[in-house]
Amino acid sequence: MRFVIMCPKDMGIDTIVSECALKGGKNVKVAPKLRQVFCDMEEGGANAIANIPGVKVRKSKVYRTNLRNRLEPPNEPGVWKQDESSIMQPVYAASQASIFTTLYELRDAFSPPITGAGATVAILDTGIMSGHRGIGDKVVHNTNFSDSGTYEDLFDHGTGVAYVCAGGQHAPNTESGIAPGAYLMNIKVIGDDGIGSDESVVMGLEHVAELTADAIAAGKSRLDPERPNAISMSFGAEEPYDEEDPVILACKEIWDEFGHELNMVAAAGNSGPGPDTITIPASSPHVMAVGAITISPFLIWEGSSRGPTNDGRIKPEIVMPGINILTASAAGVDAFTVKSGTSFAAPMAAGLECLLGESSTRFGFADAMVGMSIEEWNMLLTIIGAKPEGMPMGLDNSYGAGVPVGEKFLNVLGVSGGLDTSTLMSGVLSMAMVGMMTGMMKGM
Residue 58: which of 285, 332, 242, 310 has the closest Cα?
Answer: 242
- The verdict on 40 and 146 lying in the same domain is no
Instruction: Give the type of residue at 319.
Output: V
Backbone angles phi, psi at 250, to 5 degrees: -65, -40
Select the more confidently predicted residue: 430 or 311. Answer: 311
Q: Cα–Cα–Cα angle for 188, 194, 195, nearest 5°?
A: 85
- The total domain count for the chain is 2
Summarised one tens digit per residue, pLDDT across range 284-334 is: 999 999 999 887 778 899 999 999 999 999 999 999 888 888 889 999 999
Which of 12-16, 95-99, 185-189 bottoms out in mean pLDDT, i.e. has the lowest? 95-99
- The verdict on 307 and 420 lying in the same domain is yes
Q: How confident is the model over 41-54, as a mean pLDDT?
A: 95
In a 10 Å sphere around its CB, with 0-12 CB exposed, 13-18 middle and 19+ buried, how is residue 130 labelled? middle
Q: How confident is the model over 232-238, as a mean pLDDT?
A: 95
- The verdict on 45 and 137 lying in the same domain is no
Q: Does the pLDDT at position 171 exceed 90? A: no
When pLDDT is cut at 50, 70 and 90, the band that residue 101 belongs to is low
Q: How confident is the model over 335-361, as a mean pLDDT?
A: 88
- The verdict on 361 and 329 lying in the same domain is yes
- Residue 412 belongs to a domain: yes
CATH code of residue 115: 3.40.50.200
Residue of 157, 170, 207, 260 marked active site: 157
* Residue 343 annotated to the active site: yes
Q: How confident is the model over 264-282, as a mean pLDDT?
A: 95
- The verdict on 289 and 418 lying in the same domain is yes
Select the more confidently predicted residue: 436 or 345. Answer: 345
Contact between 224 and 215 under an 8 Å Cβ cutoff? The reply is yes
C-alpha of 12 from chain center: 31
- The verdict on 28 and 109 lying in the same domain is no
* Number of CB atoms found within 10 A of residue 443's CB: 6
Provide the pairing of β-strand 403-404 with 62-64. unpaired
Residue of 197, 232, 343, 359 marked active site: 343
- The verdict on 47 and 91 lying in the same domain is no
* Residue 125 annotated to the active site: yes
- The verdict on 31 and 90 lying in the same domain is no
Single pTM value for the model: 0.87
- Residue 70 belongs to a domain: no
C-beta pairs of 45-50 under 8 Å, 24+ apart in sequence: 45/20, 46/1, 46/3, 46/5, 48/23, 49/5, 49/16, 49/19, 49/20, 49/23
Select the more confidently predicted residue: 265 or 352. Answer: 265
Instruction: Give the type of residue at 263.
Output: N
- Residue 340 belongs to a domain: yes
- Residue 435 belongs to a domain: yes
- Residue 224 belongs to a domain: yes
Look up the domain containing 19 and give its range: 2-60
Q: Please tell me the predicted confidence (pLDDT) of residue 82.
A: 36
% of the chain at pLDDT higher than 70: 82
Extended beta strands in 117-256, E state: 120-125, 139-144, 183-188, 195-197, 230-233
CA R_g for the chain: 21
- The verdict on 132 and 171 lying in the same domain is yes
Q: With residue 267 as reference, give the H or E element that holds it.
A: strand 263-267
- The verdict on 208 and 346 lying in the same domain is yes
* Residue 276 annotated to the active site: no
Q: Please tell me the predicted confidence (pLDDT) of residue 339.
A: 86
Q: Please tell me the predicted confidence (pLDDT) of residue 99.
A: 57
Q: Please tell me the predicted confidence (pLDDT) of residue 322.
A: 86
- Residue 301 belongs to a domain: yes
Summarised one tens digit per residue, pLDDT across range 69-81 is: 334 344 333 333 3
